[in-house]
A = this chain, B = another copy of it.
Amino acid sequence: MHGGQHWQPQFPKAPLMTDPLRPGQTIGILGGGQLGRMLAVAASRLGLHVHIFEPGANCPASEVAQTTTTASYDDTDALTAFARSVDVVTYEFENVPTAALDAIEALCPIRPGRVALATSQDRLTEKTFLQELGLTTAPFAAVQTKDELDEALTRIGTPAILKTRQMGYDGKGQARIMTPTDGPDALASMQGAPAILEGFVNFSHEVSIIGARSADGAVACFDPGENVHEDGILRTTTVPAKLSPTQRTDAILIAARIMTALNYVGVLGVELFVTAAGLVVNEIAPRVHNSGHWTQDGCLIDQFEQHIRAVAGWPLGDGSRHSNVVMENLIGDDMDRLSELSGAGVAIHLYGKAEVKPGRKMGHVNRIVGPAG
């Protein structure tokens, strides 16, 4: 497996963790949502302790973690105490503020590292990085002014989509431009934030590949899954995905190349568009990923344990797929359907969120469709 090394770390050297964590040592996790919760459960299976750092009270992860710090990401004292109390820090979301990372990194290794975070926090940086690796992305251009937008629209054409460079998720911070006359309104909706114009990709379906890379550079990927979104939120992931053997191999090579270039340690999600001309990288997420939840019931070792193993300096586990699975997210009042969600081949996973809100991810269901094939 080889990867281009164009991308250079721009951060001070972090403390290096050389030995694997021993049972009883502690992983700090930034973020206490459902991903942190499922990471904490995976850590417990390996005898590792977990310390959650999360601004919100009564977060899902705190229910299964030994320790929780409830504090803001700008509370340097709390971050310092947190970093001192753990052996390595990881995170369940990519938008961790830079100042928080600075405070932690002086005291404790962060896995995956700062480069992966900085890359994925900014759509322009991410797409530039991917292109420099020789991977295909949607055509894109940085846009902050009316002139830049006009120039970009001339080059990329319409339809296109204008997105804030930072902090977007689940379709937020985005405006479609169907014809050039939509440009001014789209730009205004960015409210002055640096933006990126992306051309539309003509794709047949979306797949994602969940890769893992250990501290010693070994790479393992889960089988690609096929994703269906509704209103910008993942609705289902199906494995196996509709892919030719070549496309499946390409997906794995893309994930491996990205992880190697970032000197990545942990689990990474890569969303890919399937087109007649090949796979186009949509975006990367430097963390466990909703589209990898099927691994909990389709593999011996799931994405959460794989991430914990990597972060803890352990060898990766056996993530080969033993079953065909359809994962369905339970969103908002899908929770009312709980009583139907039983029976043969059904595994429910709930996140312990007290309040049901429209669009809120409350849990998911993995349906086993049959043995792997």
Contacts and interface: CB of A to CB of B under 8 A. Distances in A.
A343 B320 CA distance: 11
A344 B363 contact: no
Nearest to A40: B64
Contacts of A37: 44
A350 B43 CA distance: 10
Nearest to A41: B41
Nearest to A368: B300
A222 B323 CA distance: 19
A296 B93 CA distance: 28
Nearest to A62: B66
Nearest to A323: B322
Contacts of A320: 344
Contacts of A63: 44, 49, 66
Contacts of A297: 300
Interface string A303-326: 000000000001101101011000
Contacts of A49: 63, 352
Contacts of A317: 342, 346-347
B363 A343 contact: no
B300 A350 contact: no
A66 B58 CA distance: 10
A351 interface: yes
Contacts of A46: 348, 350
A248 interface: no
A16 interface: no
Contacts of A348: 45-46
**Contact count band on A:** 35 or more
Contacts of A335: 23
A47 interface: yes
B371 A300 contact: no
A24 interface: yes
Interface string A178-210: 000000000000000000000000000000000
A1 interface: no
A242 interface: no
Given A44-B37, A44-B41, A24 B352 contact: yes
A349 interface: yes
Contacts of A41: 41, 44-45, 64
A359 interface: no
A134 interface: no
Nearest to A24: B354
A46 B363 CA distance: 9
A14 interface: no
Contacts of A331: none
Contacts of A300: 297, 345-347, 368
Contacts of A351: 47
A78 interface: no
A100 interface: no
A342 to B, nearest CB: 5
A301 interface: yes
16 contacts: A24-B352, A37-B44, A44-B352, A45-B349, A46-B348, A47-B363, A297-B300, A300-B346, A300-B368, A301-B347, A317-B346, A317-B347, A318-B344, A318-B347, A320-B344, A322-B368
